[in-house]
Amino acid sequence: MVMFWVLLLAVSILLYVLLDGADLGVGMLFGLTQGEAKRRVMLKAVSPIWDGNETWLVVTGVILWGAFPLVYATLLSAFYLPLFFILAGLILRGVAFEFRDKTQRMRWIWDLSFAGGSLVATFMQGVTVGALVEGLQVTNGQYSGGDFGWFTPFAALCGIGLCLGYALLGACWLVKKCDAEVRDRAHRQIRVLAVCVLVFLVVVFVYALAEHLPILHRWIDRPYLFAFPAVGGFAAIALALSILRQNDRWPFYMVAVIFVSAFGTLALSFWPYMIPFVITIDQAAAPQSSLAFMFWGGVVVFPLMLVYTLISYSVFRGKVGAATGH
């Protein structure tokens, strides 16, 4: 029963990263784009799906709250401020998305809010992941790192890296969904962002070696983990080829594979811990009776959400037009 909820949690996090990561990336690139016509096309590329993408973040929180309450309590204690900024950024970009068409004179404020909210939410998500990788200070089962114990140079570096990664994912989504100027500009951005992400990965690896981060010991103990970076490497080669051939379809899927390989590497590096290297899965799990009670809801609701997501992406497949409104 515990493994069932671990699997659902992993799928929910991965879907959120891939789906909402793409439209957060579009939001950040939106702030670098000049011209109302191009901005409208970018908004149309994400308008049918951005709200549903954030549902997977809610699902992640619900699973943690119900199935792994100890992890939920510890993470909230450690990341109150990052979570506040993540939610504030997501709310701000959602409000801006709806309000920017209601005004002409003050539209620049909502455009800035849309791009800024995307940037803040993404950066804070990366900081949170970086803090978890580096390790939280826990004493007697409770977080004891202070209000800003999560903010370190490594965490900030991970925040920047996730911004680059989401922007790359967003540029690939624009190539997949748009035509003309927006598509051509996104193709150019993919080349720059892909190089930046590669540089980031090298810097992170060197930093981890220099600081002797505990997660590196997992790689020594579990050499099979190198299979995931190998898959990511092949996907990166395929991404480079698709860029050179000006392919519109494959860049998004190849970057998605790179994200999946990175997620798999982290997940198995943490195993069997949910908060490395402090709280294991068995320690974090709710009583068996609670997990069994929730099981039937998960069996019914989760597949329905997957079906809804597949249908929504299928209905809105294809390139977006340049007509006004979104």
pLDDT tens profile 293-324: 898 888 999 999 999 999 999 998 888 866 55
Q: What is the pLDDT of residue 322?
A: 60
In angstroms, the Cα distances linking 38 to 66, 84, 269 are: 43, 31, 42
Q: What is the pLDDT of residue 134?
A: 86
Q: What is the pLDDT of residue 19?
A: 93
Q: Which contacts (CB < 8 Å, 24+ apart) does range 216-224 have?
A: 218/268, 218/269, 218/270, 219/269, 222/268, 222/269
In angstroms, the Cα distances linking 15 to 94, 159, 214, 256 are: 19, 19, 27, 10
Q: What is the pLDDT of residue 62?
A: 93
Q: pTM score, two decimals?
A: 0.94
Q: What is the pLDDT of residue 213?
A: 79
Contact 219, 269 (CB under 8 A): yes
Tokens of 139: 């004493």
Q: Tell me which residues of the chain have a pLDDT lower than 70.
A: 321-326
Q: What is the pLDDT of residue 52?
A: 86
Q: What is the pLDDT of residue 128?
A: 95
Q: What is the pLDDT of residue 325?
A: 52
Tokens of 267: 């997940």
H runs (alpha helix) in the chain:
2-15, 21-30, 36-46, 50-53, 55-67, 69-78, 80-99, 107-134, 153-177, 180-211, 215-221, 227-244, 250-270, 281-284, 288-315
Q: What is the pLDDT of residue 188?
A: 92
Q: What is the pLDDT of residue 56?
A: 93
